[in-house]
Amino acid sequence: MYTIIGKTLAVAVLSTLASLLISFAFVPLMGGQVAGAGLVMTIVCPIVISIPASFAHFYLGAKLRSANTALAAARDELAEAYARLQHQARRDALTGLLNRATFMGELEALSQAGTHGGLLFLDVDHFKSVNDRFGHATGDEALALVGALLSGLAQDGDIVGRLGGEEFAIFLHAASPDRMLDHSQTVREAVEAIDLFSPSGQRIPLGISIGAFHCAPRFNPAEALAASDRNLYRAKSAGRNMVVA
């Protein structure tokens, strides 16, 4: 407000000086004198006109700038909120991995692009017993640790998702069958090495069964996932904590 008042007074002073300058420059040329009532009007008129007009101008200008700033901030907040919602809609809340719908959508897009690679279907072994013995908080921690591990081992172009419960899936972009198997064994060994502890401090061993299937270009995502699921079932039937391709 002080700034607005200061600008208003400055305009009033400048207007008065301009009025005096004009009067003293032109009135004598027309045979008159700047004195008495004429001098008073020369001073008063610009003050009376400029002060309310200038104050309104500067006040409304400040209000408009404030409104534009608030609007810009609201727009930025809305954009951030929209980005968060988009992220949340695509991601599993617990692990941060792609959710099932998004993973299958990405898999379909890779298939349509003619990409080949390895599809892994993973299931944390004996997960129900972890929940039953140590509580769901410990079970959630186990899933979060596994999710972080899978994400950390992924390379550019790979996609990793949580399909539901203790089930995960990985597509290894343009991977050869050898890389698919090597990556599967790396994941299995890394899960075994996870340090998960119960509330009492007891280390909880983890294992993971993996069904792997190598996808040719233009593969059918549903059929490929079903094939890797069958291999996962074979891995679990054969004793768990192993890879079957």
Quick: pLDDT tens for 155-208: 999 999 999 999 999 999 999 999 999 999 999 999 999 999 999 999 999 999
Residue 93 in contact with residue 143, Cβ under 8 Å?
no
User: How do residues 88-109 score in pLDDT, each as one tens digit?
Assistant: 678 999 999 999 999 999 999 9
Q: Which tokens go with 225?
A: 């996932």
Average pLDDT over residues 145-161: 97
- Give the β-pairing of 167-173 and 117-124: antiparallel
pTM comes to: 0.70
Active site residue 223: no
Of 29-33, 156-160, 212-216, 219-223, the one with minimum mean pLDDT is: 29-33
The yes or no reply on domain 100-244 and CATH 3.40.50.150 is no
Spatial separation of the C-alpha atoms in residues 87 and 93, rounded to whole Å: 10
Instruction: Give the sheet arrangement for strand 159-164, strand by strand.
Output: 159-164, 167-173, 117-124, 208-215, 243-244
Beta bridge partner(s), residue 33: none
Share of the chain above pLDDT 90, in %: 63
CA angle 231, 237, 241 (to 5 degrees): 80
- Give the model's pLDDT for residue 232: 98
Task: For the chain, give every domain's residue range.
Answer: 2-87, 100-244
Write a three-state SS string for the chain: CHHHHHHHHHHHHHHHHHHHHHHHHHCHHHCCCCCCHHHHHHHHHHHHHHHHHHHHHHHHHHHHHHHHHHHHHHHHHHHHHHHHHHHHHHECCCCCCECHHHHHHHHHHHHHCCCCEEEEEEEECCHHHHHHHHCHHHHHHHHHHHHHHHHHHCCCCCEEEEEECCEEEEEEECCCHHHHHHHHHHHHHHHHCCCCECCCCCECCCCEEEEEEEECCCCCHHHHHHHHHHHHHHHHHCCCCCEEC
Spatial separation of the C-alpha atoms in residues 92 and 153, rounded to whole Å: 18
Residue bearing tokens 């400040």: 62
Instruction: Choose the catalytic residue: 166, 189, 192, 223.
Output: 166
Would you say residue 75 has pLDDT above 90? no
Count CB neighbours of 155 within 10 A.
11
Count CB neighbours of 56 within 10 A.
12
